[in-house]
Amino acid sequence: MHFDISQVEAYQWALAIISGMVIGMSKSGITGLTLMFIPLMAIAFGGRFSTGLLLPMLCVGDFFAVAWYRRNADWKSLLKLLPSAVVGLGVGVLVGGRLSDTAFRYLLGAIILVLLGLRVWEDVQKRQPRYPQARWFAIVAGLGAGITTMIGNAAGAITSIYFLSMRLSKNSFIGTAAWFFLIINLLKVPLQIFFWKNISPATLTFNAIMIPAIAAGAAIGILAVGKIPEKAYRIFVMVMTGVAGLLLFIV
């Protein structure tokens, strides 16, 4: 499909600007907003085509987040997740064109709720979690993140559960996630250019116009996160992740 920036209508610009601000906020720590900007862009530009517009915007948000939180990353947790996530990207390329939107939503929702259920159960038991240290947990979380981010830019909830399970502090959580998504999203760019063919000079020009909106959202997110206590932030992330998982079954 050919993208013509001169044909973009006013409502599409409006939804894209809102999406850009939400991306900036989510990347800078106000997690759980993924299920807001994904449908907004899908409404404005269509499902598969919107992923090509979203990806460079997400990369810009990742750069802002890494610039601010770059020293807070927990590289041990990050490196455990990355290998299986890269494999998941390949799986996502293969199945992306075959999986229906409904099947994808149900699969993602089930993965999110199961992993979140494990996280909550460990907290209720009030004991040191064991499964996060198991190799299978990092493999499952990485594969799930890689597949879902390739198909629908929707891996935020899965990585949130993984990093929460690692008992990362608020800033370490945000910094580790920022580096993870910067690496993964940059790897996705050539895959979408050559396999899905939904990124072009015209779409990148559109993305460049969205940079101020993303920057504004990132600034709002950084200021807001700074005012949230550690325990409250963990609860906020868990609640928003649970809501995201449930919404996938009903929207």
Which pLDDT value is given to residue 213?
A: 97
CA atoms within 13 A on the CB side of 11: 5
Q: Which residue has the tokens 């530009």?
A: 45
Phi, psi of 49 (to 5 degrees): -65, -30
Q: Does residue 84 fall inside a structural domain? A: yes
Q: What single letter denotes the amino acid at residue 192?
A: Q
Rg (CA), the chain: 17
Helices 211-225 and 10-27, interaxial angle, to 10°?
40
Which pLDDT value is given to residue 163?
A: 86
The tally of domains found in the chain comes to: 1
Contact residues for 30 (Cβ-Cβ < 8 A; gap 6+):
220, 221, 224, 225
Which pLDDT value is given to residue 67?
A: 94
Cα–Cα distance measured from residue 202 to residue 32, given in angstroms and rounded to the nearest whole number? 30
For residue 170, the enclosing domain spans 8-250
Helices 201-209 and 211-225, interaxial angle, to 10°?
50
Which pLDDT value is given to residue 6?
A: 87
Which pLDDT value is given to residue 68?
A: 93
Which pLDDT value is given to residue 245?
A: 72
The answer to whether 182 and 58 are in contact (CB under 8 A) is no
Q: Does residue 160 fall inside a structural domain? A: yes
pTM here is 0.82
SS3 3: coil
Continuous H helices in 28-169 = 34-45, 47-69, 75-95, 101-125, 135-152, 156-165
Cα–Cα distance measured from residue 8 to residue 3, given in angstroms and rounded to the nearest whole number? 9
Distances (CA, A) of 121 to 109, 206, 217, 239: 18, 44, 34, 14
Which pLDDT value is given to residue 31?
A: 75
Q: Does residue 3 fall inside a structural domain? A: no
Q: Does residue 155 fall inside a structural domain? A: yes
Residues in the chain: 251
Q: Does residue 227 fall inside a structural domain? A: yes
Around Cβ 124, how many Cβ atoms within 10 Å? 8
Which pLDDT value is given to residue 43?
A: 78
Which pLDDT value is given to residue 236?
A: 81
Q: Does residue 51 fall inside a structural domain? A: yes
Each of the 251 residues of the chain gets a pLDDT tens digit; together they read 578 898 999 999 999 999 999 999 989 888 767 667 777 787 788 766 788 899 999 999 999 999 999 889 999 989 999 999 999 999 988 876 676 767 766 776 777 677 777 667 766 766 555 656 678 888 989 998 998 888 777 787 788 888 888 888 889 999 999 999 999 999 999 988 888 788 999 999 999 999 999 999 999 999 988 888 888 887 887 787 777 777 767 76
Output the six-digit token pair for 149. Answer: 């981010």
Q: Does residue 1 fall inside a structural domain? A: no
